[in-house]
Amino acid sequence: MSSNAPVNATVRRRRVFYIPGYDPIPPRRYRELYRKESAAQAGISGYEISILPSEAKVRFGWGVKAHMDGAEVDTQVEVLIWSDIVKDSMDQGILATYAQLARTAAAYIGTGALFRLMRLRKGPVIAALYPVGFLLTQLGLALLAAWILGQGLALLHPLAAWGGLVVVPLILEWFRRMDGRFFAYYLMHDYAYSARHMGANPPELEARMAEFSAEIAQALQGGSDEVLVVGHSSGAHLGVSILADLIRDGHVPAGDPALSFLSLGQVVPMVSFLPRAHRLRADLAYLSTREELFWLDVTAPGDGCAFALCDPVSVSGVAPAGKRWPLVISAAFTQSLSAERWRALRWRFFRLHFQYLCAFDRPKDYDYFRITAGPQTLAQRFAGRPPSKSRIERATSGYTSLAP
């Protein structure tokens, strides 16, 4: 679309609240990603965009000034930070991590959730099984090395064979320190965090979500044409509950500003399929009928870490009469990325999970920067857009209760 093409432009000022997934990295990473990728997309798509210091009083954020589709738009982006909670939950020793492994595997296998999730998409289930398999492989290699060393020591004295065990903690610690390459500990902590309370939110997360809700409620009191909440990965199911609370509590005014919700690369079933996820299931059912917002869910089959094109409400078995949300569409990585770019990214699974926040060299109707910095609301941009024909809506969860 040309930057001079006339559009139904109603947004001059926007507030964006970005909810990250389970990520211990400081939020400045998201600012740098936005700065770099918005410049790349602007060069490809022919609009102007620049990153500025934040004008809003926020914990961490930035300003965006864009000239797009013949309009000037000012956007204030805030990252809703819960990385400190993530880091605390990851502060586990090696033995504690292996105990987490056993508990998490028992939670997903014992409840039958794992097998039901596999009926939806195998990619994210494989991603969930990867840390289990690789951590057990690490332990196996450490024990093998201990046995080999022990056999050598036994030549000196039979009891000396036990001395081989000294290498086990050393090898396991080496793997833990190298987890920036392997991601086994990181993913194990991620899935363990959801399984710890069988799908219920831990108290510290509920308290932080209440703070987020209050910040968004304040932004809805005026001064913006659109308030856009973006939930990425695990942040998508947090966004569902935060917005459900906002509407239930009467904090969404009639009319302006428009309230929009963009869920990206969601992994909602990993939580909603667990037995004690009553809160999330109730919020999914409630939010799916509300007229106060527009909810767009974007995934892509090329993202092996997301439940691609799975309607999070329907597959959780809680779709009520009158369901209207979300509108489920595909970011279509294989079409919106050139063949050369797709080949470069295809096997970089974690990078692809962040592609929704990045530039596309052959963009279709999904453009993160037009959505977050352009002159149209989310509802205007996707008005009349049909849902993906290949979306999955069959109820698959074995737990559908909305209350304990």
Domain that holds residue 96: 90-195
Query: What's the angle, vertex CA 164, arms to CA 161 and CA 165, rounded to 5?
Result: 115
- Tens of pLDDT, residues 253-281: 987 899 999 999 999 999 999 999 999 99
pLDDT at residue number 1: 36
Residue 52 included in any domain:
yes
398 found inside a domain:
no
In a domain, 63, yes or no: yes
Q: How confident is the model at residue 363 (pLDDT cuts 50, 70, 90)?
A: very high
Q: What percent of the chain has pLDDT over 70?
A: 98
Do 111 and 131 lie in one domain? The reply is yes
Q: Are residues 255 and 375 in the same domain?
A: yes
- Per the prediction, the chain carries an average pLDDT of 93
Q: pLDDT tens across 219-253, in order?
A: 999 789 999 999 999 999 999 999 999 999 999 99
**pLDDT given for residue 223 in this prediction:** 87
In which order are the strands placed within the sheet that holds 258-264? 48-52, 61-68, 71-79, 13-19, 226-232, 258-264, 294-299, 327-330
Paired residues of 76 in beta bridges: 15, 63
Strands (E) located in 199-312: 226-232, 258-264, 294-299
Q: Is the pLDDT of residue 344 over 80?
A: yes
Chosen domain end from 164, 195, 226: 195
The pLDDT assigned to 124 comes to: 87
Same domain (yes/no): 292, 353: yes
Q: At what angle do helices 94-110 and 184-195 cross, to 10 degrees?
A: 50
Both 104 and 124 in a single domain? Answer: yes
- In this predicted model, which residue has the larger pLDDT, 208 or 153? 208
365 vs 193: CA distance, rounded Å:
35
Q: Looking at the structure, do residues 251 and 176 belong to the same domain, yes or no?
A: no
Residue 323 lies in a domain: yes
The answer to whether residues 287 and 233 belong to one domain is yes
Lowest mean pLDDT among 2-16, 186-200, 372-386: 2-16
Average pLDDT of the segment spanning 203-221: 96
Domains of the chain: total: 2
pLDDT per residue as tens digits for the range 21-63: 999 988 999 999 999 999 999 999 999 999 998 876 778 999 9
Q: At what angle do helices 234-248 and 203-219 cross, to 10 degrees?
A: 60
What pLDDT does 7 receive?
A: 55
Distance CA 238, CA 212 (A): 10
Among residues 150, 171, 195, the one where a domain terminates is 195
Of 195, 223, 254, at which residue does a domain stop?
195
- So what's the pLDDT on residue 322? 93
> Among residues 42, 21, 26, which one has the least CA distance to residue 263?
21
247 and 369: one domain? yes
Q: Is 221 left (phi over 0), alpha (psi -120 to 50) or beta?
A: alpha
Task: Name every residue whose Cβ is closer than 8 Å to that of residue 323 and which is 6 or more positions away in sequence.
Answer: 288, 289, 313, 314
Q: Both 224 and 319 in a single domain?
A: yes
